Amino acid sequence: MGFKAKARKHKSESGEETGTKKKSSAKVGEIPCGVKSCDGFADKSFGGRSLSIDNAIDVWGDSGYTERKGRVRVCKGCYRKWKKDNKSEDTY
Ligand SMILES: [Zn+2]
């Protein structure tokens, strides 16, 4: 005879999977600021903007920027600088 005792049910204990949740502390952009003297990022998530070539020349001169498809992508800080420079002309 020999009824084999049913093997103990093996309950696999699969707890919560602690996945690899990466929290990127240091944000890195993809689009570098078009201003040569600046090493910021002009990504939208960084508040970057795109200016026209004319606008860029006004502030940074003929060779102070890098063109991208007819526009100049600038970071938030550079956009502010441009805005400031233009404001003084626009306001009375
Ligand atoms: Zn910049």
Model confidence at 82, in pLDDT bands (50, 70, 90)? very high
Judge whether 2 lies within some domain: no
Report the pLDDT value the prediction gives residue 70, as an integer from 0 to 100. Answer: 94
CB under 5 Å of ion ligand 1: residues = 33, 35, 38, 40, 75, 78
Q: Which residue has the higher pLDDT, 89 or 52?
A: 52
Q: How much distance in Å is there from the Cα of 80 to the middle of ligand 1?
A: 9
Judge whether 65 lies within some domain: yes
> What sign does the CA torsion over 81, 68, 34, 31 have?
positive
- Provide the percentage of residues in the chain whose pLDDT is more than 90: 60
Report the pLDDT value the prediction gives residue 46, as an integer from 0 to 100. Answer: 95
Judge whether 67 lies within some domain: yes
Judge whether 83 lies within some domain: yes
Neighbours of 56 (CB within 10 A): 24
Question: How many folded domains does the chain comprise?
Answer: 1
Q: What is the pLDDT of residues 37-67, one digit of tens each?
A: 999 999 999 999 999 999 999 999 999 999 9
Structure tokens at 59: 């502030």
Q: How much distance in Å is there from the Cα of 75 to the middle of ligand 1?
A: 4
